[in-house]
Structure 1
Amino acid sequence: MVPSWPHQPLSRRRALTVATGLAAGAALPLGGTAPDASASSAATYTNPVIWQDFADIDVIRVGDTYYASASTMHYSPGAPVLRSYDLVNWEIAGHSVPVLDFGAKYDLNGARGYVRGIWASSLAYRPSNRTFYWLGQIDFAKSYVYTAPAAEGPWSRLTTIGTAYYDAGLLVDTDDTLYVAYGNTTINVAQLSPDGRTQVRTQQVFTTPSSVGTLEGSRFYKINGQYYIFLTRPANGQYILKSSGGPFGPYTMRQVLLDLRGPIPGGGVPHQGGLVQTSSGAWYYLAFVDAYPGGRMPALAPVTWTSDGWPVVQLVNGAWGTTYPSPAVPAPPRPVTPMTGVDTFNSTTLSPRWEWNHNPDNTKWSAGNGLTLRTATVTNDLYWARNTLTHRIQGPTSTATVELDHSAMRDGDRAGLALLRDSSAWIGLKRDGGVTRVARVGGLTMDTNWNTTGTGTELASAPVSGSRIWLRASADIRPGSPRPGTFSYSTDGTNFTRLGPDFTMGNDWRFFMGYRFALFNHATQALGGAVRVTRFELSTP
């Protein structure tokens, strides 16, 4: 992932990159096998396979189960681990980084970590100790390695390494040696100690030709005895390096894709993801599509190999296909957990589909009988408010409905449901002078340095009585226009009243993360108030 692409116009930034990631540590045969388009099952799948924001994907197979990791920036916990049994239907199993304990800014304590934190990183499995590994750099300063016995955790920090492995790809070699490919334009390979705790050596292995420009987004593989580093040219090309002489090269380069049309109308081209082989020998590429305002959506395509060992993404009418035959895989052991539906917060822990905006103050929230959010910050700026809980939006259109008990709010408190990004809007409750109103607020904005430029303006309001209200936000995240977000409320959970004008969601790429639904409760006068969310539902038409 790249912090900015000033040298390329938006039309090119949205174009293409292709990267890869496979069952870490195994020497995998090319096999020359294409996915069987005439398989006995005529079933097909449709791209994007996940219409939610999961970017910079690394994907692996362990047995007959597939796992993927993604960037989460300032959201906590970070680096979600996705799980699938067929590469098409995915669930969130857990998070590799349980808390962003990389400095006070990730606690919204005197500074903020927006568009920092978990960038493109790597997920791998080490068969020798049956352990999952996550590796990534933070703030261009240090790299961190987390491990877990299972994808859902518990994850714990193994080590901190002084070298910042930018856009890292972790390889578990067939002899169990750990290697990391990383860098921007100058590509390096590092070797780690056998325990994975320290760096043994690092060496530059490739310098990008000026005619190509920037290459980054390393994914590192050993396939059929050869080493591959897959690299993204943000965001319209994909290149691949291949070495027959070992992990430190020398490498030869080949362009894989350039300016390829993607499967989401108005969106970009699938890029910066991973390559994975099924147990039957077929290869697939799981990448993401720039599709703001929603974010970056995973898309899947089959891959074949040339006789001399280069991957070829299979296209449909010259483009990344909207549909392909479904992968031939064993019957799944169970259905995956849907990423939409109802949450009543009956457990004392949150479902992994939830992530906080920065680290939460864990003394100010609880779950088990609904979700209780006690005010954790005194501020008039939602971007500074702690304990804002977020949920990815389901595309292309979806609706979030929240049932909220506001009887414990105090004067000055603000609580509700937001469409959250660097330009935000919300519907919620304002309590002032002992009176509670439902309000529609817009004009919450940041500049390109992620400083607040607008704390919000009330655009409409209505009086409310009683202690319970239903709040609803609908989002159309299809790229292009008009990208509307609409807000409504109900006092009985059945009849909803629109409040305020439509909100036009922004589609600039520089914030990287897409819009999210966000539950918030913050004070503007003094702490002590609370709200209780008894039900959250994410639904699609």
Structure 2
Amino acid sequence: MKEENYKNPIIHADYSDPDVIRVGNDYFLVASSFNCVPGLPILHSKDLIHWRIINYAVKKLPSPEYDTPQIGKGIWAPAIRYHNGKFYIYFSIPDDGIFCCYTDDPFGKWSDIVLVKKAKGWIDPCPFWDDDGKAYLINAFAKSRIGFNSKLCISKLSEDGLSVLDEGKIVFDGTNTQPTIEGPKLYKRNGYYYIFAPAGGVKYGWQTILRSKNVYGPYEERIVLHQGNTLINGPHQGAWIETEKGEHWFVHFQDKGPYGRIVHLQPMTWFEDDWCIIGVDQNQDGIGEPVLEYRKPETEEESSHFYIECSDHFDSEKLSFAWQWHANPRDEWYSIDIQRSVLKLFAVCAKDSQQKRSMFYMPNLLLQKIPAEEFEVVTKMKANFNTKGSSSGLIVSGYKYSAIGLERREDGNYLIQILGEIVGANANEKIVESKKIDGNEIYLKLKMGKGANSEFLYSVNGKEFFKFGLEFIPKEDVWTGSKVGLFCVNRYAEGNVLEEDFAEFDYFIFNFWEVC
């Protein structure tokens, strides 16, 4: 029997700035990926509730700059659209401009990225093809790059969508009433052009809708979703979707600190005056508030009950879609032995003083989004080190981070815990616990509870685990939540990769107290 209700969040993972479209009976979601590679994750669903990762549109970021971690840079706020049999994703790299990639099969290969508009500070692009065939692009601005924000711009777009044809027109200035308005999505309904755009900032903002009979305005404004008296802070930036059955829904994110920006689904109600509210007007203030539980959307297909895959037994030629590198990857960083179902990570050397000071800035961190509020993850590792200073293990990344693993010293292998914090340009990192270990095989476990309270454990036999080191709470970095994953580094040796120093991982398995 089909479930009657769903609960928010629908994805308790850091898929920030989500945009969603429906094509037939299929729903596709894209999200920001910033410095993480591969970039532009694509998720698929049949019912708007259960999602899985099916692809990445960008395999490598387009500059040697991204061969090292560029925290807070990279791919911002994409929009996905379907037009004339092709899927398009538009996104910004805020220091370079607006880009696009496209395909006729979202599960398959995407085109190389195309520079649609070279500009610094143009962000959050969304294309729109009008009824008369004319195409437009709407975007916002990043004050950190261009000196101003809170304005929305519409430009003419070539019919094929691959180039901006003019300098655009500012169609809305929210400085006084909608500060920090950004993330615009352009739609049309009943003769009105609608701009859905968040304002007020990530942590405590709201969702605004603008409308006009002319694409260039002037636009009326109305707040349609805010926190109200709920516990869901900053409900904004997302996508309006109409189901096959004609229902209207809105997907948005909620900033949840170290967990990142998690994804919620809200009902939408349109009224006879062609305005709507998102969520439910629980406190009768005329504005919608987000719901924690609601009836499921009516879709053609019932729930397929798939969830984003987290665990990995390394039994495929390629890494699972759950994994992303901290920067543009190199082939020599890893290999997968399918016959033995083993991931081999080679010790990568630090290339600059920043990497020598902090493991957080190493490019070869292999990371996943935190997939639930409470969970544990365990991995089995075998270290094969010949060089002093080589280390490998389990890491929780972010501007406050911690790692547990084996480090090679002159007299053998030591189990260590590292605690670190990034404060401005400074990296404060130290080993807070150290213990000599006989042998080179070990089981490592992370337990994360509510509030991201975390602790590490270890075992030499995989059965009896012992707590090791200090408890900690990770902290998100610029625009992204903390992540969990694996590392293999040597920040003291010279060179690129130490081919004789590597660690082998048999699995990376999550266990949940609640389904993620």
TM-score, normalising length: structure 1: 0.84
In structure 1, C-alpha distance between the alignment counterparts of 2:474 and 2:153, rounded to whole Å: 39
In structure 2, C-alpha distance between the alignment counterparts of 1:240 and 1:115, rounded to whole Å: 27
SS at match of 2:505: strand
Partner of 1:446: 422
SS at match of 1:134: strand
SS at match of 1:74: coil
Partner of 1:260: 228
In structure 2, C-alpha distance between the alignment counterparts of 1:292 and 1:95, rounded to whole Å: 25
> Do the aligned partners of residues 186 and 192 (structure 1) sit closer, same or farther apart at CA in structure 2, a change above 3 Å counting?
same
- C-alpha displacement of 1:333: 8.8
* 324-333 vs 87-96, which moves further: 324-333
SS at match of 2:469: coil
Residue 142 in 1 paired to residue 102 in 2?
A: no
Partner of 2:145: none
Partner of 2:183: 217
In structure 2, C-alpha distance between the alignment counterparts of 1:399 and 1:532, rounded to whole Å: 20
Partner of 1:82: 43
In structure 1, C-alpha distance between the alignment counterparts of 2:218 and 2:321, rounded to whole Å: 42
In structure 1, C-alpha distance between the alignment counterparts of 2:10 and 2:299, rounded to whole Å: 16
- C-alpha displacement of 1:272: 0.6
Whether the aligned pair in 2 keeps the contact of 1:294 and 1:393 (CA below 8 Å) is: yes
* 251-260 vs 384-393, which moves further: 251-260
> Do the aligned partners of residues 485 and 492 (structure 1) sit closer, same or farther apart at CA in structure 2, a change above 3 Å counting?
same
Structure 1, unaligned runs of 5 or more: 1-39
CA deviation map 1:147-174 (0-9, x unaligned): 1222233122252122454112222334
User: Of 442, 449, 474, which residue of structure 2 is paired with 1:505?
Assistant: 474
Residue 199 in 1 paired to residue 168 in 2?
A: no
User: Of 382, 391, 396, which residue of structure 2 is paired with 1:405?
Assistant: 382
SS at match of 1:512: coil
SS at match of 2:77: coil
Letter in 1 for 2:445: R
> Do the aligned partners of residues 317 and 406 (structure 1) sit closer, same or farther apart at CA in structure 2, a change above 3 Å counting?
same
Residue 45 in 1 paired to residue 6 in 2?
A: yes
Partner of 1:189: 154
In structure 1, C-alpha distance between the alignment counterparts of 2:386 and 2:47, rounded to whole Å: 46
> Do the aligned partners of residues 344 and 175 (structure 1) sit closer, same or farther apart at CA in structure 2, a change above 3 Å counting?
farther
Residue 119 in 1 paired to residue 76 in 2?
A: yes
In structure 2, C-alpha distance between the alignment counterparts of 1:336 and 1:293, rounded to whole Å: 25
Partner of 2:410: 433
In structure 1, C-alpha distance between the alignment counterparts of 2:199 and 2:315, rounded to whole Å: 45
Which runs of structure 2 are paired with 1:165-314 in the superposition (5 Å)? 165-183=122-140, 184-201=149-166, 202-235=168-201, 236-245=205-214, 247-262=215-230, 265=231, 268-314=233-279
Whether the aligned pair in 1 keeps the contact of 2:127 and 2:161 (CA below 8 Å) is: no
> Do the aligned partners of residues 209 and 139 (structure 1) sit closer, same or farther apart at CA in structure 2, a change above 3 Å counting?
closer
In structure 2, C-alpha distance between the alignment counterparts of 1:203 and 1:239, rounded to whole Å: 20
In structure 2, C-alpha distance between the alignment counterparts of 1:520 and 1:387, rounded to whole Å: 7
Partner of 2:143: none
In structure 1, C-alpha distance between the alignment counterparts of 2:481 and 2:469, rounded to whole Å: 23
Letter in 1 for 2:346: R
CA deviation map 1:466-507 (0-9, x unaligned): 3321111122353xxxx4110011111121111011012236
- C-alpha displacement of 1:78: 1.3
- C-alpha displacement of 1:270: 1.9
Whether the aligned pair in 1 keeps the contact of 2:179 and 2:200 (CA below 8 Å) is: no
SS at match of 1:88: coil
> Do the aligned partners of residues 303 and 388 (structure 1) sit closer, same or farther apart at CA in structure 2, a change above 3 Å counting?
same
Residue 339 in 1 paired to residue 301 in 2?
A: no
In structure 2, C-alpha distance between the alignment counterparts of 1:254 and 1:332, rounded to whole Å: 34
- C-alpha displacement of 1:90: 0.8
In structure 2, C-alpha distance between the alignment counterparts of 1:335 and 1:48, rounded to whole Å: 15
Whether the aligned pair in 2 keeps the contact of 1:486 and 1:503 (CA below 8 Å) is: yes
> Do the aligned partners of residues 42 and 457 (structure 1) sit closer, same or farther apart at CA in structure 2, a change above 3 Å counting?
closer
In structure 2, C-alpha distance between the alignment counterparts of 1:467 and 1:278, rounded to whole Å: 54
In structure 2, C-alpha distance between the alignment counterparts of 1:115 and 1:72, rounded to whole Å: 10
Residue 475 in 1 paired to residue 436 in 2?
A: no
Whether the aligned pair in 2 keeps the contact of 1:125 and 1:172 (CA below 8 Å) is: no
In structure 2, C-alpha distance between the alignment counterparts of 1:421 and 1:215, rounded to whole Å: 27
> Do the aligned partners of residues 256 and 409 (structure 1) sit closer, same or farther apart at CA in structure 2, a change above 3 Å counting?
farther
Partner of 1:495: 464
User: Of 352, 359, 382, which residue of structure 1 is paired with 2:328?
Assistant: 359
In structure 1, C-alpha distance between the alignment counterparts of 2:281 and 2:165, rounded to whole Å: 45
> Do the aligned partners of residues 409 and 416 (structure 1) sit closer, same or farther apart at CA in structure 2, a change above 3 Å counting?
farther
Whether the aligned pair in 1 keeps the contact of 2:137 and 2:164 (CA below 8 Å) is: no
> Do the aligned partners of residues 234 and 95 (structure 1) sit closer, same or farther apart at CA in structure 2, a change above 3 Å counting?
farther
> Do the aligned partners of residues 149 and 355 (structure 1) sit closer, same or farther apart at CA in structure 2, a change above 3 Å counting?
same
> Do the aligned partners of residues 172 and 256 (structure 1) sit closer, same or farther apart at CA in structure 2, a change above 3 Å counting?
same
* 183-192 vs 279-288, which moves further: 183-192
Partner of 2:286: none
- C-alpha displacement of 1:407: 2.5
In structure 1, C-alpha distance between the alignment counterparts of 2:444 and 2:479, rounded to whole Å: 27
> Do the aligned partners of residues 42 and 423 (structure 1) sit closer, same or farther apart at CA in structure 2, a change above 3 Å counting?
closer
SS at match of 2:478: coil
* 314-323 vs 343-352, which moves further: 314-323
User: Of 111, 115, 118, which residue of structure 2 is paired with 1:162?
Assistant: 118
Whether the aligned pair in 1 keeps the contact of 2:98 and 2:125 (CA below 8 Å) is: no
CA RMSD of aligned residues (A): 2.1
Letter in 1 for 2:46: Y
Partner of 1:530: 502
Letter in 1 for 2:268: V
Structure 2, unaligned runs of 5 or more: 141-148, 284-288
SS at match of 2:330: coil
In structure 2, C-alpha distance between the alignment counterparts of 1:95 and 1:352, rounded to whole Å: 8
In structure 2, C-alpha distance between the alignment counterparts of 1:213 and 1:270, rounded to whole Å: 15
Q: Work out the percentage of aligned pairs sharing the same amino acid.
A: 27
Partner of 2:363: 386
* 171-180 vs 511-520, which moves further: 171-180
In structure 2, C-alpha distance between the alignment counterparts of 1:68 and 1:512, rounded to whole Å: 19
- C-alpha displacement of 1:86: 0.6
Whether the aligned pair in 1 keeps the contact of 2:392 and 2:503 (CA below 8 Å) is: yes
In structure 2, C-alpha distance between the alignment counterparts of 1:69 and 1:382, rounded to whole Å: 29
Whether the aligned pair in 1 keeps the contact of 2:207 and 2:235 (CA below 8 Å) is: no
User: Of 264, 287, 293, which residue of structure 2 is paired with 1:323?
Assistant: 293
In structure 2, C-alpha distance between the alignment counterparts of 1:540 and 1:484, rounded to whole Å: 15
Whether the aligned pair in 2 keeps the contact of 1:74 and 1:115 (CA below 8 Å) is: yes
SS at match of 2:70: coil
SS at match of 1:188: strand
Letter in 1 for 2:387: R
In structure 2, C-alpha distance between the alignment counterparts of 1:477 and 1:421, rounded to whole Å: 17
In structure 1, C-alpha distance between the alignment counterparts of 2:43 and 2:25, rounded to whole Å: 14
> Do the aligned partners of residues 187 and 412 (structure 1) sit closer, same or farther apart at CA in structure 2, a change above 3 Å counting?
same
In structure 1, C-alpha distance between the alignment counterparts of 2:466 and 2:323, rounded to whole Å: 27
Whether the aligned pair in 2 keeps the contact of 1:261 and 1:320 (CA below 8 Å) is: no
